[in-house]
A and B are shown apart, each in its own frame.
Chain A
Amino acid sequence: MEIPRHWRLRQQRYALVGEVCPHCEEKIFPPRDVCPYCGNEAKTQFTFSGRGTVFSFTTLTEAPAGFEQTAPYTVALVKLEEGPVVTAQLTDLGDRPVEIGMPVEMVTRKIRAEDEERGVIIYGYKFRPVLTETQ
């Protein structure tokens, strides 16, 4: 169990908290100590909207340890509307085929059970298709 490690990431996992660079104003997620765009230190928090589009995706059949119960599942590169790309699972897909360019939004879901006997569950971001409005 790696409690401090997961605890440290709670803002990122639950609320997509990244940074905005105070020098060049680029948005950054996941947070970094040095802005990749201008090379200055980036420390100003910025909460992302959680809206984006699918940049690429795949469905895994062979899952690594900790994810066996979830398999098969779809992982995507999601391009957030503010610019950065994140790796995340897609959820609530139903029978819907995934496509590059598909609009998605962040939801909080169970990522994996870390320690079954003690009932520790790790939650974090996944993305679901944006619900289309009915007429």
Chain B
Amino acid sequence: MREVVIAGIGMTPVGEHWDISLRSLAYRAIRAARQDAGGLQPQALYLGNFLAIDSSHQANLACLIADNAGLGGIEAMTVEAADASGAAAFHVGYLAVASGLVDVALVVGVEKYTDALGPEQESAVAQAMDYDYEVMQGLTLAAQAALVMQRYLYEYRPPREAFAAFPLLAHANAVTNPYAMYRRAVTPEAYARAEIIADPLRLLDMAPYADGAAAVVLTTPERVRDLPHPLVAVRGSIGAIDTLALHDRPDPLAFEAAYHSVQRACEMAGIAPGEVDLFELDDAFSIYAVLSLEAAGFAERGQGWRLAEQEALGLRGRLPILTLGGSKARGNPLGATGVYQVVEAALQLRGEAGANQVPHARRALVQNLAGPASSAFTHVLERYAV
């Protein structure tokens, strides 16, 4: 397979973009990424999106997005894996370029969460779960995370307030990210006082769903020798599934898909999971951040929350996570999240993360989950050395 690099990156601020359409939101990210890549002409566009068929009544969205961006005639398709759609689209873009069939691929993640409201949108997002046997029982993604968290508290007995460290870290890092939805810190007191969404899950345990678009241009290194910024190589990219329904797992606290995708992506890159300078994990819910750390092998089972206690996860810790605010504070644009994570990791590896820069960041692990890791995609990205 050919060497693949990220030649350009782009994103919009995450938030409630009432005045911007689905197509225009995507275009803003595409324009930025193409400019950053020196104007390379893409031959294919792979789109990550979760809700548009339901909430925006739009199928064949990749066709619309490419068409609206003036990319008539190219190959375009939507890749769907619920809230891991962005990472799935990135994976497909990687495969296309690595295979030799496509020389320049554009990967776009876009979500217009605010096109529908309230209980309707809660139902749309719930479709990430088994419709017949979970959704029909009144389960939501937040309630599902609460079931996992309740069981974790029962089995491992961590202090309830230990989970505060994850939203606190995310918010602290988002203060200096101009693309983040919530650029303000939160206090332990605010966490303790936060409204209960589904006991024991509180409002601040849950990443807020929002609108956003992010894009990357993938190509081979020899096509982009003269760009004014460093390139980022894709050294590994692997997806894995678990059971779709949480109840079908022998052990719902083991994120098996997350484990397998990390192991195989690192094997592909020829590294051990510990040999990375940062880990952009999926913090859709604080408990999922904890379980992702455990699944990747950074902590023993039941001990993931202790990493935050030891301040290992900050920008200057030994394993920085959520370096630009994660889904909790950057905002969670669902099917676009996986592309935001890649763009953020690329900023770190290019040394362009500003106040959020992880010192000497050379290699990053990036992981996006669908629901409770029903699907997991993990990528290993590395600053490209000529």
**Which residues of A are interface residues toward B (Cβ below 8 A)?**
5, 9, 12, 30, 36, 55-68, 70, 73, 75-77, 84-89, 100, 111-112, 122, 124
Contact = CB atoms under 8 A, between A and B. Distances in A.
B150 A58 contact: yes
A122 B132 CA distance: 12
B122 A75 contact: no
A97 B18 CA distance: 42
B245 A55 contact: no
B350 to A, nearest CB: 40
B197 to A, nearest CB: 6
Contacts of A89: 137-138
Contacts of A55: 151
B246 interface: yes
Contact of A77 (B122, B200, B252): B252
Closest 4 CB pairs of A and B: A58-B146, A56-B151, A64-B122, A64-B123
Contacts of A70: 138
- Which of B138, B199, B246 has the most chain A CB atoms closer than 10 A to its own CB? B138
A57 B197 CA distance: 13
B52 interface: no
Contact of B197 (A5, A61, A84): A61
Interface string B189-201: 0000000111111
A75 B200 CA distance: 13
Contact of A64 (B119, B133, B252): B119
B147 A57 contact: yes
22 contacts: A5-B132, A30-B245, A56-B154, A57-B147, A58-B146, A58-B198, A61-B197, A63-B119, A63-B140, A64-B123, A64-B135, A65-B120, A65-B123, A66-B119, A67-B138, A73-B138, A76-B147, A84-B248, A87-B134, A87-B139, A122-B136, A124-B137
A3 B82 CA distance: 25
